[in-house]
Amino acid sequence: MSDRPLVSAVIIFLDAAEFIDEAIQSVMSQTYEHWELLLVDDGSTDRSTAIALHYAHRYPDKVRYLEHPGHANRGMSATRNLGIVHARGRFIGFLDADDVWLPHKLQQQVQWLEVYPQAAMVYGRTLIWYSWMSDRPAGKTDRFYDLGVKANTLVAPPRLLLLLLRNRVQTPTTCNALLRRELVAHVGGFEPEFTGMFEDQVFFAKVELTSYVVVADACWALYRQHPGNSSGMGWNTQAYHDARVRFLTWVECYLSVHRVHHLRVWWVLWSELRPYRYPRLHRLASRFSQVVGRSRANMTTAVRHVLRRALARQPRC
């Protein structure tokens, strides 16, 4: 028996026959060998179910197949939670069936979590991956986003939550993070009401509110871009903005229910909600900020006082 900690790799899939074999192979090619793989079916109707069952039957000591009762389609969050319930590892990593792990992901991420025992999670850079397509659209090239913090450091909460809410830099993606199992249980896993877009950000918002996180400079995952995934939706579409408002509103409710009174978190959250709730006020405030050179980081004593009063009156959800 290996003395290395077991890592549970959870691949969720729905009609992913075109890509799932490559995702599975990327787990099986890890230089870190002490892993288990859970293939969690969200009600597929194509060959991906048969592909997953083939691997489970061929490698019964390493690979397990899971599905919802009645082969139901329950959405991404509920499907990840099913994998979490059955995971045996000390650490848990997630991978969507259209993405790919690079070979040293688990080995290097386990090392980071052993170096920083106070860290609940580690993540690094994710390659926004277009080059897998032989006929990719013009102007679409592989790229990285800025991490927003100094790389290879332990980041205290809630700094990463502020970045997540602002959505200006790369934040954790399910394919590039590794988490301690007890943390996943502590935050209650993923929220089943989020079946698609922003299901990952809802989860990571809970993690980043209270947890220390290692942010590394290494690239460990390829995030495949194609029309069928949620990232293929343009940021300026109405569907995207509707989903973002729903996410921000959920965070507002979560902070209220858990009586979080961190003024900076509330300031950033309300700043992100303002364009949706008060578009005219937002336009006026933006113009005023440009004129007087004020920034969100330099709140006055009066604004702080208003925030405290507003928090005191914040209704519970």
Q: Calculate what percentage of the chain has a pLDDT beyond 90.
A: 79
pLDDT, tens digit, 9 for 90 and up, residues 121-161: 999 999 999 999 988 778 889 999 999 999 999 999 999 99
pLDDT for 135 equals 82
Can you tell me the distance from the alpha carbon of 29 to that of 100, in angstroms, rounded to the nearest whole number?
A: 11
pLDDT at 87: 98
pLDDT at 136: 78
Which of these, 59, 61, 16, lies nearest to 40 by C-alpha position? 16
45-88 pLDDT, tens digit each? 999 999 999 999 999 999 999 999 999 999 999 999 999 999 99
pLDDT at 48: 98
Two tokens at 294?
């004020």
Q: What pLDDT score does 106 carry?
A: 98
For residues 283-305, average pLDDT: 62
Distance CA 310, CA 304 (A): 10
Q: Where are the domains of the chain?
A: 7-232, 238-312
Q: What is residue 17's DSSP assignment? A: T
Two tokens, residue 116: 């920083």
Residue 311 has pLDDT above 90, yes or no: no
Give pLDDT, residue 139.
80
pLDDT digits (tens, 9 = 90+) for 238-276: 899 999 999 999 999 999 999 999 999 999 999 999 999
For tokens 């009063």, the residue is 309
pLDDT band at 1 (very low <50, low <70, confident <90, very high): very low
Quote the pTM value: 0.88
**CA angle (86 as vertex; 126, 94 as ends), nearest 5:** 5
| CATH, range 7-232 | 3.90.550.10
pLDDT higher than 70, residue 184: yes
What mean pLDDT comes out for the span 34-46?
A: 98
Calculate the average pLDDT of the chain.
91
16/176 Cα distance (integer angstroms) = 20
H-assigned helices in 158-299: 159-166, 181-186, 199-210, 238-257, 263-277, 279-292
Residues 248 and 199: their CA atoms lie apart, in Å, by 12
Query: Residue 137 has what pLDDT?
Result: 78
pLDDT of res. 148: 97
Length, in residues, of the chain: 317
Please give the residue that has the higher pLDDT: either 139 or 90. 90
8 A C-beta contact, residue 99 and residue 189: no
CB 82 within 8 A of CB 174: no
Q: Which of 226, 232, 239 is nearest to 16 (CA)?
A: 226
CB 93 within 8 A of CB 179: yes
% pLDDT > 70, the chain: 88
